[in-house]
Amino acid sequence: MKILLTGATGYIGKRLLPILIEQGHEVVCCVRDKNRFYYPKELPSKIEVIEVDFLKAESLTAIPSDINAAYYLIHSMSGSETNYDELEKKSAENFVNSINQTKLIQVIYLSGIVNDKSLSKHLSSRKKVEEVLNTGTFALTTLRAGIIVGSGSASFEIIRDLINKLPVMITPKWLNTKCQPIAIKDVLEFLSKSLLNSITYGKSFDIGGPDILTYKEMLLGFAKAKKLKRWIITVPVMTPKLSSYWLYFVTSTSYKLASALVSSMKVEVVCRNNEINELLGVKPITYEQALSRALIKVDEDNVTSSWKDSLVSGRFNSNISEHLKVPKKGCFIDRRKKEIINKDFTIDRIWSIGGQTGWYYGDWLWSFRGFIDKLFGGVGSRRGRTHKHEIHSGDVLDFWRVLYANKEEGKLVLYAEMKLPGEAWLEFKIINNTLYQSATFKPKGIWGNLYWYSVLPLHGFIFNGMLNKLIQ
């Protein structure tokens, strides 16, 4: 069968793709920017990639007319703090108008549990999207999930940050709200088994694991899995805004996402029934088992996808290709070069930079820069990186976004997502056994010029030291 996969570069989409290929389907992957799309080379060539922006109706003409089913995994929460609900509704309307012109039989939509009359803006937006999708000429299957637990998921990473960093937590009262977490393994099984399965046509189902827990119990469950002693005290005086800042400063999440999560976490998300478990023959695993699986994946450096690599984690709102060509005109450039001793060694060093490895020289200055960025509402450096030794276009690397990564060529280009009075690039490339390292800054106005000259004295210390370490 020919399956349309929207959100192919997202957390769920990246994990669902190999499952669909393994089942023998031909998959058409919808991406906004082909330069951000990466899939393992070992996957068969039953993959077609098309560039589609669901906010631009004219781009949807790229969707083939002979598709049999589609997964709707689009989420526009990263687009704006105030109007992401409007963007989601428009995306859904454009999708329906386009898909109605095809031979498609079924659309599977992954949504959030919405069994409370007083919904957050985030969950209300998810429900409105479902209503729009229901107007299509196809059969809609809606799977509604609460907290998804898996290596790299936003929930898992936030819980891990809180437990690892805070022995004692003074927390908001919404930590006593009940939810029904579900393992990413089970979400993928529900998604794949619903595909072209007529018993799911025209229906919506709540999906969740066997445990109903408070967020406080989830945090303490993680601490138990890590064999850590943690104390959590809830107080009624922490406002939603203060709670959002609490999550933002302590964890690697962005403020926009923290705000949306806090709003949603005040609402109970518990499954109304579990009939789909019997219909599809799925037996969800417990929260404890889900944590164990996720921790093993992290320890083995085998995280398939991470929410941090999605655009929602940072400030990058355009296509990678728009920034891929590093400018020279009107820019300040710090260029350095050095002859390398062992090319493979140097490339491995470059491909391991950032995250837990650090920046090889002046790490405390890099950390301080990340702290300052966080204070001013930026992404900071807590996002780290998904893999310790692998880098692909679109990945996050501390407060940078990877624009280009070609290991055989020995070239890596990064774009700064930190708050700056301008734009910045960091580039490494190897030519004829020489490593060229360039830091480019395109200033905006007088503040941009002042910023460059204020950090200029540090460049000789940081960049020269880093260059030496990359070749030693």
Contact yes or no for 313/244 (Cβ under 8 A): no
Contact yes or no for 430/343 (Cβ under 8 A): yes
In a domain, 313, yes or no: no
258 in the same domain as 114: yes
Q: Residue 69, SS3?
A: strand
In a domain, 144, yes or no: yes
In whole angstroms, give the CA distance from residue 239 to residue 301. Answer: 37
In a domain, 296, yes or no: yes
> Could you tell me what percent of the chain has a pLDDT over 70?
92
In a domain, 319, yes or no: no
345 in the same domain as 268: no
424 in the same domain as 284: no
pLDDT bin (cut points 50, 70, 90) of residue 380 is: confident
pLDDT bin (cut points 50, 70, 90) of residue 117 is: low
Taken as a whole, the chain contains a residue count of 472
191 in the same domain as 69: yes
pLDDT of residue 36 exceeding 70, the answer is yes
Among 228-237, 344-353, 376-385, top mean pLDDT goes to 344-353
Q: How many domains does the chain contain in total? A: 2
Residue at which a domain ends, from 263, 278, 308? 308
Q: What pLDDT does 452 receive? A: 92
417 in the same domain as 277: no
pLDDT bin (cut points 50, 70, 90) of residue 319 is: low
pLDDT of residue 51 exceeding 70, the answer is yes
Compute the average pLDDT of residues 413-420: 91
Q: What pLDDT does 33 receive? A: 83
95 in the same domain as 202: yes
Indicate if the alpha-carbon torsion angle 51, 54, 58, 60 is positive or negative.
positive
Tokens 């570069």 correspond to 9
pLDDT bin (cut points 50, 70, 90) of residue 44 is: low
Contact yes or no for 145/113 (Cβ under 8 A): yes
Q: What pLDDT does 78 receive? A: 46
Q: Which domain holds residue 222?
A: 2-308
Among 88-92, 192-196, 235-239, 251-255, top mean pLDDT goes to 192-196
* Alpha carbon distance, N-terminus to C-terminus of the chain: 52
In a domain, 13, yes or no: yes
336 in the same domain as 219: no
pLDDT of residue 295 exceeding 90, the answer is yes
Q: What pLDDT does 247 receive? A: 77
Compute the average pLDDT of residues 356-367: 89
Give the orientation angle of helix 240-250 with respect to helix 255-265, to 10 degrees.
Answer: 130
Looking at the DSSP bridge assignments, the partners of residue 441 are 332, 424
In whole angstroms, give the CA distance from residue 25 to residue 2. Answer: 6
361: which 2 tokens?
A: 């020289």
Q: What pLDDT does 169 receive? A: 86
Residue burial 343-367, b: 16+ Cβ < 10 Å; e: rest: eeebbebbbbbbbeebbbbbeeebb
pLDDT bin (cut points 50, 70, 90) of residue 79 is: very low
Our measurement of the distance from residue 326's CA atom to the centroid of its chain's CA atoms, rounded to an integer in Å, reads: 25
In a domain, 443, yes or no: yes
In a domain, 183, yes or no: yes
In whole angstroms, give the CA distance from residue 398 to residue 413. Answer: 14
Taking only the tens place, the pLDDT of each residue in 128-165 is 888 899 898 999 999 999 889 999 888 888 888 889 88
Residue at which a domain ends, from 273, 308, 343? 308
Q: What pLDDT does 316 receive? A: 61
The domain that holds 353 is classified in CATH as 3.30.530.20
Compute the average pLDDT of residues 452-458: 89
410 in the same domain as 293: no
Looking at the DSSP bridge assignments, the partners of residue 29 are 5, 49
Residue at which a domain ends, from 308, 343, 377? 308
Compute the average pLDDT of residues 102-122: 80
Among 149-158, 236-245, 282-291, 387-396, top mean pLDDT goes to 282-291
> Could you tell me what percent of the chain has a pLDDT over 90?
44
Looking at the DSSP bridge assignments, the partners of residue 231 are 168
pLDDT bin (cut points 50, 70, 90) of residue 283 is: very high
Beta strands in 247-326 (DSSP E): none
170-184, 260-274, 292-306, 373-387: which has the minimum mean pLDDT? 260-274
The domain that holds 184 is classified in CATH as 3.40.50.720
Compute the average pLDDT of residues 453-464: 88
In whole angstroms, give the CA distance from residue 307 to residue 153. Answer: 6
83: which 2 tokens?
A: 């109007």
83 in the same domain as 154: yes
Compute the average pLDDT of residues 237-260: 73
Q: If DSSP states are collapsed to H, E and C, what string results for 166-181?
A: CCEEEEEHHHHCEECC
221 in the same domain as 119: yes
402 in the same domain as 288: no
In whole angstroms, give the CA distance from residue 426 to residue 441. Answer: 9
pLDDT of residue 311 exceeding 70, the answer is no
Averaged confidence pLDDT in the chain: 86
Contact yes or no for 182/282 (Cβ under 8 A): no
DSSP secondary structure letter of residue 285: P
In a domain, 317, yes or no: no
More confident of the two residues 152 and 69: 69
80 in the same domain as 33: yes
